[in-house]
Structure 1
Amino acid sequence: MALRIACVLYDGFLLPDVAGPISAFEFAGVVATGGYRIEAVASSARAVRSSAGITINAADYRDLEGCDIVLLPGGISPRDPAAYRDILPFIRESGRLRRRIIALSSGTYVLADAGVLEGRRVVTHWGLAAEFMERFPDVALDVANLFLRDGHIWTCAGINAAIDVALAVIAEDYGAAAAQRTAAGLLMPFRRLATQSQRPALTEAATADGRVTEVLAWAQERLHEPLGVERLAGRAALSIRQFGRAFQRSTGMSPAKAIEHLRVERARAAIEGGARAFDEVADRFGFGSPDRMRRAFLRTIGRTPQQLRREQRLADLRRRRSGGHASQTR
């Protein structure tokens, strides 16, 4: 039985935020039993105009006969709640029913205005981070991660990350093999780490200051060593204050936070690649101890190394028992 996706549209939605993940979900139906049934909905039955000027015909969300997943694209003007005000009741209802909600890029604004993000950690595009934090100071925003799952709510950083989220959801529903075949069909890599997050965006942003770019590249080769801000600033030949300001301006995060994300990213890859001893992983990537590594994982991705390993084992077990497909029981 296909899982039902409601793609929620509003005037000015970003077309790539819809086309990318929908293509992934559509292709998953070719490689996985069940697949997805996708329906576009809006505040009324009408043709909804995207930011590119292309329209998509949508049904009234009130006529929707239930759904498993809500897909919420970003918009060209997330600063203007008037663009999406009429769909907020549906988002609130979906939050109350604990449907899986996937908010793409500035779609996080819609979730925040709907009041469904209380006590949750979310991601949005790094270029929107400062404005988002000012507008929604009570929402815990992570400006580094590519995408993030907190309970039944998924958020992501941008257009390419929207496909990464879709692949992660497909893996959850039908197993890693199905997601991998979907990615291959889309000529996409499978799978970028969630904690790899906005690393390409951070690197590109840092090119405005070559010293920051060089320090990031230098640090990635020395994660096992102490990398305090004093040492990083010295590498850039700047005072600590100058370096901190330049780094924040270029990447949208503090040097300490960036180093922690780099370490978590590499450690997670090692653990998911089969590394057994947490103390060895913690030492290899500069955490100092398994307990410090555990706390860093919780801060960065909201899960411990033990939970990641347990989830992976359970997912493998479910796939073996179901002949390669995750259970669709909800």
Structure 2
Amino acid sequence: MQRIGFIVLPGFQMLSVSSLSVFELANWEIGEPAYHVHLLSETGGSIRSSVGISVATEPFDNRNFDTLMVGGSAVAGALTLGVIKFLRRGLRRSRRVASTCTGAFVLAEAGLLDGRRATTHWHRARELQARFPKVKVEEDRIFITDGPVWTSAGMTAGIDLALAMIEQDLGADVARSVARQLVVYHRRAGGQSQFSALLELEPKSDRIQSALAYAKRNLTSKLTVKQLASAAHLSPRQFSRAFRAETGQSPAKAVENLRVETARLMMEQSRHSIDVIAQQTGFADRYRMRRAFLRAFGQPPQVIRRNARAELAA
């Protein structure tokens, strides 16, 4: 049986511990206790959450945990020297150390993320990078595995992280069954990005939505304003004005974002060459795609693919 320890800090958010349900359901799915979950705090006892609900915790001791996890806290002074020491010891003794959401700040404060790739909630990612320059922050990832250290984005991304742990421990079939029980994706559509180009645009009218859906289906085409306007049943001038008013972007920029998102997914999940992916996503050649990747992610396609393969190998 694997022992899972989750460190609860005063003022934690209830959703941050939702990932523990993944381990509970994995036990149920295989019909035996593969995991034993422990809520931990420095002194033990009752710890109050941000909404006023308290949970019972066990105090830190000399037990070893296969997986040690931590969430964040909005309460000043919640992170103590005792917690930092416990995490540092955990990195030496545990197979995995992980954080959910702003728990990445806790791991960074303990020095566990120095020189490692990590993520956190997109809203706090740049702050994490500024405060801890030794950390290689990737702000658009759902979760990242770098050696024994796992970090996830927003609180629900902790479920994605835990499902990946289940897959590593018990296999893809068990992880997929647990995801079905939770009514979530085994692997989120659109790769591991926190963002979706279509969702981020948030068009308000059916006509602009239809144009974007048309663009998504026809990325190999040139997708001129005239084509998109025709799909929206508007004149090119009306379409351009309405599109920018509803999305805050030009049609050309939106199409590039759709192409980049699709190309990234193909880079991560397929074995197609970079030239083939560039052709299939409408970039025409690898050099245009490379420039688009640098604008969107600050990294070229080769680095995106190498990182994805490194995560899969881990």
RMSD: 3.9
2:234 is aligned to none
Q: Does 1:14 align with 2:19?
A: no
Map 1:282-301 → 2, pairs under 5 A: 283-285=279-281, 288=285, 296=301, 298-299=303-304
Q: Is the 8 A contact 1:147 1:194 kept in 2?
A: no
Counterpart residue type for residue 73 of structure 1? G
2:121 is aligned to 125
Q: What is the CA–CA distance in structure 1 between the aligned matches of 2:204 and 2:136, rounded to whole Å? A: 28
Deviation at 1:27, TM superposition (A): 0.4
Aligned in 2, Cα 1:301/1:104: closer, same or farther, shift over 3 Å? farther
Deviation at 1:157, TM superposition (A): 1.2
1:28 is aligned to 26
Aligned in 2, Cα 1:198/1:277: closer, same or farther, shift over 3 Å? closer
Aligned in 2, Cα 1:263/1:88: closer, same or farther, shift over 3 Å? same
Unaligned runs of 5+ in 1: 228-234, 239-245, 248-254, 316-330
1:3 is aligned to 2
Q: What is the CA–CA distance in structure 1 between the aligned matches of 2:74 and 2:165, rounded to whole Å? A: 25
Map 1:183-194 → 2, pairs under 5 A: 183-192=179-188
Deviation at 1:237, TM superposition (A): 6.8
Taking structure 1 as the reference length, the TM-score comes to 0.69
Deviation at 1:173, TM superposition (A): 0.6
Counterpart residue type for residue 83 of structure 1? A
Map 1:1-330 → 2, pairs under 5 A: 2-18=1-17, 20-32=18-30, 34-61=33-60, 63-77=61-75, 80=76, 82-85=77-80, 86-97=82-93, 99-192=95-188, 195-200=191-196, 206-207=201-202, 220=216, 260-269=260-269, 271=270, 277-278=272-273, 280-281=276-277, 283-285=279-281, 288=285, 296=301, 298-299=303-304, 302-304=307-309, 311=313
Counterpart residue type for residue 37 of structure 1? H
Q: What is the CA–CA distance in structure 2 between the aligned matches of 1:113 and 1:51, rounded to whole Å? A: 21
Deviation at 1:83, TM superposition (A): 1.1
Q: What is the CA–CA distance in structure 2 between the aligned matches of 1:110 and 1:194, rounded to whole Å? A: 29
- Amino-acid identity (%): 30
Counterpart residue type for residue 66 of structure 2? D
- Aligned partner of residue 84 in structure 1, secondary structure: coil
- Aligned partner of residue 134 in structure 2, secondary structure: coil
1:252 is aligned to none
- Aligned partner of residue 12 in structure 1, secondary structure: coil
Task: Name which one, 1 or 2, has greater alpha-carbon Rg.
Answer: 2
Deviation at 1:205, TM superposition (A): 5.5
Q: What is the CA–CA distance in structure 1 between the aligned matches of 2:151 and 2:258, rounded to whole Å? A: 20
Question: What are the Cα deviations for residues 87-137 of structure 1, in whole angstroms up to 9, with x where unaligned?
Answer: 111111122346312211101110111111111111111111232222223
Aligned in 2, Cα 1:147/1:83: closer, same or farther, shift over 3 Å? same
Unaligned runs of 5+ in 2: 224-236, 242-247, 250-254, 294-298
Deviation at 1:300, TM superposition (A): 6.7
Deviation at 1:35, TM superposition (A): 2.0
Deviation at 1:30, TM superposition (A): 1.5
Deviation at 1:298, TM superposition (A): 2.9
1:324 is aligned to none
Q: What is the CA–CA distance in structure 2 between the aligned matches of 1:302 and 1:99, rounded to whole Å? A: 21
Question: What are the Cα deviations for residues 150-181 of structure 1, in whole angstroms up to 9, with x where unaligned?
Answer: 11111111122111111111011100000011
Q: What is the CA–CA distance in structure 1 between the aligned matches of 2:120 and 2:176, rounded to whole Å? A: 25
Aligned in 2, Cα 1:104/1:282: closer, same or farther, shift over 3 Å? same
Q: What is the CA–CA distance in structure 1 between the aligned matches of 2:214 and 2:138, rounded to whole Å? A: 24
Counterpart residue type for residue 302 of structure 1? N
Deviation at 1:149, TM superposition (A): 1.3
Query: How many residues are matched?
Result: 278
Taking structure 2 as the reference length, the TM-score comes to 0.72
Q: What is the CA–CA distance in structure 2 between the aligned matches of 1:147 and 1:225, rounded to whole Å? A: 33
Q: What is the CA–CA distance in structure 2 between the aligned matches of 1:133 and 1:26, rounded to whole Å? A: 34
